[in-house]
Amino acid sequence: MSRRTPHADSPVLPPRAFSYQRFSKPEQARGDSLRRQAELAAAWSVRHGVPLDDTLRMRDMGVSGYSGANRSDKAALGVFLELVRAGSIPVGSYLLVESLDRLSREEAVPALSLLLELLQAGVRVVQLLPAEVEYDAKANPMALMLAIAELSRGHSESAMKSERCGRAWRAKKAQVAIDRIPPSKMCPAWIEVIGDGPNRRAVLRPREAEAVRLLFRLSRDGFGIDQILRIFRERGVAPIGRRARHWSPSYANQILKSRAALGEYVPMRGKARRDRVPDGDPVPGVFPAVVCEEEWLAVQAGLAQRRHFPGRDASSSTNIWKGLVRDALTGTPMLARAGGPSPVLFPSAYSTGGAPFNSYPLAAFDSGLLSLLREVDPRDVMPRPVGSDPVAAVVAERTRLAARITELQEELVAGGEVRSLAAALRRLESELAAADARLVEVRRAGAGELAGAWDEARGLLGALETAQDPHAARVRLRSAIRRVVERIWVVVVPRGDVRLCAAQVCFTGGVRRDYLLAARRPRSIFGRPTRQAAWLARSLTGTEAQAGLNLRETQSAAECEASLLLIDVERLDFASASAGSER
């Protein structure tokens, strides 16, 4: 940056002094650092007769100079730099710092670049301790060399401190695996550490632990984060966490994903929270478990499902099929919305003009498809294990990766080549994280777990009509169905007062079942009903659709639509269908 010179017509502003104060850790605010830096700047202002500018709040409290965070646009120094670049700071002004390491503790090149940028812009940088030194654009080479030495000293001190702290934390984390005690008193909000030293142990906080259990229970039942927090507000469940005033969706989601709920301690590395990554295997038994592994895995599966099926219910009644049903002709999701007296399913492509409004009554879809699913024998649709146990295979792969990571870490400690070993570590840690995700998935997809989900779904189907809380029952049923049904493809064809729907249910494991659903609207003459609304549901016969029907394919879906147009709706037997489909 070249030295700025004022325009001939611009008013020449008198130079001002700006006192920049910084410390790295928030707890230093309780000490003497801030007062000392402010008094040094005030004394310099009196000695030199240059007034201190108080229009800018030049304080970075708890902001690192080692990482360069104080140069970001969110920090006081970063704002000052932007004002310098914009020409808002008069040429010849002074920037007062206790020592150059308050300005930066980065490596020599970026730290010196920051200093030179200020000097070239006409700002004089004044170091007050250990000796008063003023740097400006005419600084001689010897002064700049002293500045480089001072900046390098600050970086070396921070680097050494970081290494020592890192070494101490690595030792603490390694000791956790041996002693099974928390490394510090900083623990999840539902856990309290009592005692000191080797007598330190973790116990559950009763109120907070009960809130976490309720959070997991509702999530396993299929409720999303927003629904859970609404239930918490209705029940008066107090928030947990240090100084927490309300439940945060991100924090609730973080709790659900945390292995600390299982009682495991996961060593982490990385300074900023967003940059933290696991640093080794989880250590079981460090904390008291608040949920069992079966419930934790079920919640992880539910979270993964809700990532695939996001969004809110479009109708006042909970849509059991949200995210599962797709229009085979357009490939778009079938949405639920109010259509006349009751909700209907319709293709989302209709909203953008890509499909006609071929709707199907949601209540009739519920009644028809649920009646068919109730009769399915789970042995016919559940996947059967073939060959070796997939869970054992993933566990073996994970063990191999963890062992290799340990070997590389030992090589690093022994003084191995840092760059190549660090790159290999990052790659293996990424593979280990992927193996963990696969382990959750294969455990969730195991035949035993799926059979349990099917049993739960069938039990909920039988109790749906008599449930005391219909909304909660439908949410739980939706969660259970999603674990056994992968996708439902439909072709809807309007035929006067009758709506025909070919539904292909794709179960987890690859088995498909094809069904024909039909809904008939009521009729009335002069307000007097002459025919009740009704529905029917049965298997789709070979005469109504071609063999090997695959509604994932557009061509097959079009052929199915043509077949439905040929069905004689007057011959459909609604006699045995429920007349109470319009709930």
Residues 220 and 128 in one domain: no
Residues 361 and 509 in one domain: yes
Q: What is the pLDDT of residue 220?
A: 81
Residues 460 and 438 in one domain: no
Residues 463 and 350 in one domain: yes
Give pLDDT tens digits for 14-29: 778 888 888 876 656 5
Give pLDDT tens digits for 97-142: 888 878 877 777 787 788 888 888 888 888 888 778 888 888 777 7
Give pLDDT tens digits for 500-511: 999 999 987 778
Residues 233 and 94 in one domain: no
Quick one: average pLDDT of 326-336?
A: 90
Whether pLDDT at 191 is above 60? yes
Range with lowest mean pLDDT among 140-144, 184-188, 271-275: 271-275
* Domain end among 418, 444, 470: 444
Range with lowest mean pLDDT among 151-165, 217-231, 477-491: 151-165
Q: With beta carbons less than 8 A apart as the criterion, state whether 228 and 215 touch.
A: yes
Q: How far is it, in rounded angstroms, from Cα 439 to Cα 426?
A: 20
Residues 483 and 359 in one domain: yes
Is the residue at 281 inside a domain? yes
Residues 61 and 193 in one domain: no
What DSSP element (H or E) covers 360?
strand 360-361
| DSSP classification of residue 104 | -
Is the residue at 580 inside a domain? no
Q: Which residue has the higher pLDDT, 95 or 477?
A: 95
Is the residue at 318 inside a domain? no
Residues 247 and 295 in one domain: yes
Nearest to 349 by CA among 361, 358, 341: 358
Q: In this structure, how many other beta carbons lie within 10 angstroms of the beta carbon of residue 146? A: 17
Is the residue at 171 inside a domain? no
The domain that holds 289 is classified in CATH as 3.90.1750.20
Q: How far is it, in rounded angstroms, from Cα 491 to Cα 505?
A: 12
Give pLDDT tens digits for 483-497: 788 899 999 999 988
Is the residue at 349 inside a domain? yes
Q: What is the pLDDT of residue 387?
A: 46
Mean pLDDT over the full length of the chain: 76
Q: What is the pLDDT of residue 518?
A: 93
Say if strands 485-495 and 325-327 run parallel, antiparallel, or are unpaired: parallel
Q: What is the pLDDT of residue 7?
A: 45
Is the residue at 317 inside a domain? no
* Domain end among 308, 337, 355: 308
Please list the residues that pair with 500 across neighbouring strands: 493, 518
| b/e per residue 233-250 (b: at least 16 CB within 10 A) | eeeebebbeeeeeebeee
| DSSP classification of residue 531 | E
Residues 370 and 490 in one domain: yes
Task: Give Cα separations from 110 to 22, 67, 114 (angstroms).
Answer: 18, 11, 6
Q: What is the pLDDT of residue 8?
A: 44
Whether pLDDT at 2 is above 50? no
Q: How far is it, in rounded angstroms, from Cα 78 to Cα 74?
A: 7
Structurally, the chain folds into a number of domains equal to 4
**Structure tokens belonging to residue 259:** 């292995």
Is the residue at 7 inside a domain? no
Is the residue at 172 inside a domain? no
Quick one: average pLDDT of 466-493?
A: 80
| b/e per residue 543-574 (b: at least 16 CB within 10 A) | ebbeeebbbeeeebbebbbebbeebebeebeb
Q: With beta carbons less than 8 A apart as the criterion, state whether 93 and 16 touch.
A: yes
Residues 416, 418, 420, 423: is their CA dihedral positive or negative?
positive
Q: In this structure, how many other beta carbons lie within 10 angstroms of the beta carbon of residue 346? A: 23
Band (pLDDT 50/70/90 cuts) for residue 466 is: low
What percentage of the chain has pLDDT greater than the value 70?
A: 71
What is the separation, in whole angstroms, between the first and last Cα of the chain? Answer: 74
Band (pLDDT 50/70/90 cuts) for residue 441 is: low
Residues 480 and 353 in one domain: yes
Instruction: Note the Cα 70 to chain centre separation in Å.
Output: 28
Residues 254 and 348 in one domain: no
Q: In this structure, how many other beta carbons lie within 10 angstroms of the beta carbon of residue 265? A: 23
The domain that holds 133 is classified in CATH as 3.40.50.1390
Give pLDDT tens digits for 35-65: 888 888 888 888 888 888 877 778 888 777 7
Say if strands 277-278 and 523-525 run parallel, antiparallel, or are unpaired: unpaired
Give the residue numbers spanning the domain of 281.
180-308
pTM, two decimal places = 0.47
Residues 335 and 397 in one domain: no
Q: What is the pLDDT of residue 127?
A: 86
Please list the residues that pair with 451 across neighbouring strands: none
- List the beta strands (DSSP E) in 378-484: none
